[in-house]
A and B are shown apart, each in its own frame.
Chain A
Amino acid sequence: MVRKIVATGLVLLMSAAMVFAAGRAEGPADDDTLRIGLLVKSLGNSFFEAARDGAMEAAAELGDVEVIYQGPSTPTAEGQIEIIDSLIAQGVHGIAISSNDENALVPAAQRAQRAGIEVISFDSAVAADGRSIHLAPSDDELIGRSQVQAIAEMIDYEGQIAILSASSTATNQNAWIEWMRTALEEPEYANMELVDVVYGDDLSDQSYREAVGLFNSYPDLRGIISPTTVGVAATARAIQDEGLVGQVELTGLGLPSEMSQYVQDGVSQNVALWNPIDLGYAAIYITYHLLRGNVEAEAGAVIPAGRIGDIRVGEGLVAVLGEPFVFDASNIAEFADIY
């Protein structure tokens, strides 16, 4: 008897919850302050704390947005699922996720969508079934082209260059290298020659050895592109040790913390990487405009994102933030403290 009462009570409660949820599905009223959960891979990671700062900046500019910064203590999908459920219970309007597992978060994200919450992902994607838009930090073509442009400016568009990559099977690295090759066919790079692509396997010692190998094999080498943090830092060290600063230029993709010393020492004029502040900033703008109904989540949509400008939504509802952010002697020290 008692059980029956409890069961009935539960059913009633659940129906009430569903009615409530259904009511919410109509979207926020115009004068509501929008509450957006920023769900990151883990807390205590300075990369995401920088993203949070960007999100707060966007919220301050927009005025009617409250950002709820959340993340598990360790980077697990389970932890993120719990938080999604708790955000649903709190009745937030939107969630922007940097996911620990593309597929494992989909059911929880769909629960949120059914509860009328706008779900997007940024930085690290949730599979398409579980979100509307994904905000990617950059895309392969932009990365490849901007790296070639950076080294070209350092060597005055003339001379031999080489690429020092991570492992020879890394999908992202190979895609970037292909775009670098494509870019190098442009007429303005006609006097530049890509002489070699070597692989340091993202190990300091192997990358260092490969860099020294390049100096040996190509005495006239003018520049190296190393689109990986371990590789670009080890190459910088090798250039310094071999006394080739100024003779062999260096750029690449690297954490500002790893590269700060070398950029300030002049071994590399600049390196690039995604900017977590801009990522968090843009993620809030996108969620905001979707919630306000200013834009539809569809390919070809253009979303205004404050100081960053317009962000275009492409195929698969993937929006690209832009070219990697460039760190040079003027700003790298500041970012080195962040990530």
Chain B
Amino acid sequence: MEGISNMKHGGVRGTFLHRILARREITLLVIIVLLVAAVGIRAPRFLQPGRQLSILNDTIILLMLTLGQLAVILTAGIDLSVASNLAFTGMAVAMWNMMMPGVPMIVLVGASILIGASLGAFNGVMVAVGKVPPIIMTLGTMSVYRGMVFLISGGAWVSAHQMSPAFRGFARFSFLGLPSLVWIGVLTTGLVYLFLNHTKGGRELYAVGDNETAAGFVGVSANRAKIKAFVLSGAIAGLTGLLWVSRYASAQNDTAIGFELETVAAAVIGGVSIMGGSGSVPGVVLGAVFLGIVKNALTVIGVSPFWQMAIQGGVILIAIVANTLVDRRNQAKLSMNGVSA
């Protein structure tokens, strides 16, 4: 199974350094450094220590959602319902906290993961067993889950003063100098990395996305892999729902509206193949960080708001094209050298 995914990266089985260098992540890292330097020239305060932490903090939710998106895209699917899932779960736990402020946070954390995972499982079962194309299925549940937010909230918001102090503070209490939000993000990243790279279930996602028929021949159940991917994506979306409403201390009906597309963008920037079977956790981390830096940079370099969207889109396109070009050159070079698995 290891070979299946490595084939996509030119089939290198060299030293650790070799494998790192052959990957497109390095290109992206260089682009990020150049971007930060460019913004720093325009707005020196952007380079001050502490700013990075603030940007990281701002990027964690996007990163976590993109990790879930990665799992689904690996199986050649897509999950457009993540932002609606986030909004629904966030509203549900916020309302729970409002009605029963005494319920400990750990229960709400468990509930948010469970609610999110259930919504994800519904997507997964319909895609795997019902054979509904993922883009259609999740486009549908994107609206359904968003509608459910209005249903449970009756259109009303849950505001800061209706949340318990523990709830409001959950995403930002400091531990070893970093806010809890960052720690949860790091932990999630580590767990997803372990799952995708070091468990049978994780490797199966690559196998199914790479070649579903071939994977079937070696005894991998495509249905189970797809459901797993959607459940993972849903569970993460649910957890980020809790983090989101806690961070902004406000649960609204249009929370994170349109955010699903940012997760897809971050995944693609991070080198995840939209065709499935190829993509890595480090890539996704860099993709999310890149997008986070672009969004934060635009607020400090004083661009007209009318230009911001176009610039954001343009920068994303440039990053993807540059990334792809370098990737293709690397692959060509490697195959000429005759290195193979």
- List the 3 closest A-B pairs by CB distance, nearest first: A213-B299, A261-B160, A260-B161
Q: Does A203 make an interface contact (CB < 8 A)?
A: yes
- What residues on A are CB-neighbors of B162 within 8 Å? 257
Report the separation of the CA atoms of residues A241 and B248 in the bound assembly, to the nearest whole angstrom.
Answer: 10
Interface pair A230/B302, CB less than 8 Å apart:
no
Interface pair A216/B43, CB less than 8 Å apart:
yes
Interface pair B252/A204, CB less than 8 Å apart:
yes
Q: Does A199 make an interface contact (CB < 8 A)?
A: yes
Interface pair A217/B45, CB less than 8 Å apart:
yes
Report the separation of the CA atoms of residues A258 and B251 in the bound assembly, to the nearest whole angstrom.
Answer: 10
State whether A168 and B302 are in contact (beta carbons under 8 Å apart), knowing that A217-B43, A217-B45, A241-B172 are contacts in the complex. Answer: no
Q: Does B177 make an interface contact (CB < 8 A)?
A: no
> Chain B nearest CB: distance from A264 CB in Å?
7
Interface pair B160/A262, CB less than 8 Å apart:
yes
Interface string of B162-178 (1 = CB under 8 A from A): 10000010001000000
The bracket for how many chain B residues form the interface is 20 to 34
Q: Can you pick out 11 interface pairs between chain A and chain B where the beta carbons lie within 8 Å of each other?
A: A168-B305, A196-B302, A198-B305, A204-B244, A204-B250, A217-B299, A237-B160, A237-B250, A255-B159, A258-B159, A261-B168
Report the separation of the CA atoms of residues A260 and B299 in the bound assembly, to the nearest whole angstrom.
Answer: 28
Closest to B61 in A: A205
Interface pair B302/A233, CB less than 8 Å apart:
no
Interface pair A209/B160, CB less than 8 Å apart:
no
Contact for B159 among A203, A208, A261, CB less than 8 A: A261
Q: Does A336 make an interface contact (CB < 8 A)?
A: yes
- What residues on B are CB-neighbors of A198 within 8 Å? 299, 305
Q: Does A306 make an interface contact (CB < 8 A)?
A: no
- What residues on B are CB-neighbors of A203 within 8 Å? 254, 257
Interface pair B256/A216, CB less than 8 Å apart:
no
Interface pair A230/B296, CB less than 8 Å apart:
no
Report the separation of the CA atoms of residues A237 and B247 in the bound assembly, to the nearest whole angstrom.
Answer: 8
Q: Does A63 make an interface contact (CB < 8 A)?
A: no
Interface pair B157/A257, CB less than 8 Å apart:
yes
> Chain A nearest CB: distance from B305 CB in Å?
4
Report the separation of the CA atoms of residues A210 and B299 in the bound assembly, to the nearest whole angstrom.
Answer: 6
Q: Does A219 make an interface contact (CB < 8 A)?
A: yes
Interface pair A216/B51, CB less than 8 Å apart:
yes
Interface pair A336/B159, CB less than 8 Å apart:
yes
Interface pair A258/B296, CB less than 8 Å apart:
no
Contact for B295 among A168, A199, A209, A234, CB less than 8 A: A209
> Chain A nearest CB: distance from B72 CB in Å?
22
Report the separation of the CA atoms of residues A242 and B54 in the bound assembly, to the nearest whole angstrom.
Answer: 9
Q: Does A293 make an interface contact (CB < 8 A)?
A: no
- What residues on A are CB-neighbors of B54 within 8 Å? 212, 242
Interface string of A323-339 (1 = CB under 8 A from B): 00000000001001000
- What residues on B are CB-neighbors of A217 within 8 Å? 43, 45, 299-300, 302
Report the separation of the CA atoms of residues A212 and B48 in the bound assembly, to the nearest whole angstrom.
Answer: 14
> Chain A nearest CB: distance from B306 CB in Å?
6
The A-contacting residues of B in range 10-67, CB under 8 angstroms, are: 43, 45-46, 51, 54, 58, 61
The A-contacting residues of B in range 235-273, CB under 8 angstroms, are: 244, 247-250, 252, 254-257
Hey, which bits of chain B sit against chain A, CB under 8 A?
43, 45-46, 51, 54, 58, 61, 154, 157, 159-162, 168, 172, 244, 247-250, 252, 254-257, 295-296, 298-300, 302, 305-306
State whether A209 and B58 are in contact (beta carbons under 8 Å apart), knowing that A216-B46, A216-B300 are contacts in the complex. Answer: yes
Greatest chain A CB density within 10 A among B58, B300, B306 is at: B300
Interface pair B161/A257, CB less than 8 Å apart:
yes
The B-contacting residues of A in range 222-254, CB under 8 angstroms, are: 230, 233-234, 237, 241-242
- What residues on A are CB-neighbors of B255 within 8 Å? 204
State whether A213 and B296 are in contact (beta carbons under 8 Å apart), knowing that A168-B305, A204-B252, A258-B250 are contacts in the complex. Answer: yes
Report the separation of the CA atoms of residues A264 and B305 in the bound assembly, to the nearest whole angstrom.
Answer: 33
- What residues on B are CB-neighbors of A168 within 8 Å? 305-306
Q: Does A44 make an interface contact (CB < 8 A)?
A: yes
Closest to A241 in B: B172
State whether A205 and B256 are in contact (beta carbons under 8 Å apart), knowing that A196-B302, A212-B54, A217-B45 are contacts in the complex. Answer: yes
Interface string of A152-171 (1 = CB under 8 A from B): 00000000000000001000
> Chain A nearest CB: distance from B139 CB in Å?
21
- What residues on A are CB-neighbors of B46 within 8 Å? 216
State whether A209 and B159 are in contact (beta carbons under 8 Å apart), knowing that A199-B305, A204-B250 are contacts in the complex. Answer: no
Interface pair B248/A213, CB less than 8 Å apart:
no
> Chain B nearest CB: distance from A163 CB in Å?
12
Report the separation of the CA atoms of residues A199 and B306 in the bound assembly, to the nearest whole angstrom.
Answer: 10
Report the separation of the CA atoms of residues A325 and B161 in the bound assembly, to the nearest whole angstrom.
Answer: 20
Interface pair B160/A213, CB less than 8 Å apart:
no
Interface pair B161/A261, CB less than 8 Å apart:
yes
> Chain A nearest CB: distance from B193 CB in Å?
25
> Chain B nearest CB: distance from A210 CB in Å?
5
> Chain B nearest CB: distance from A334 CB in Å?
12
Taking A204-B255, A237-B248 as known contacts, 12 extra A-B pairs with beta carbons closer than 8 A to each other, sorted by chain A number, are A44-B154, A203-B254, A203-B257, A204-B250, A209-B299, A213-B296, A217-B43, A219-B45, A241-B172, A257-B161, A258-B250, A260-B161
Report the separation of the CA atoms of residues A264 and B159 in the bound assembly, to the nearest whole angstrom.
Answer: 13
> Chain A nearest CB: distance from B133 CB in Å?
30
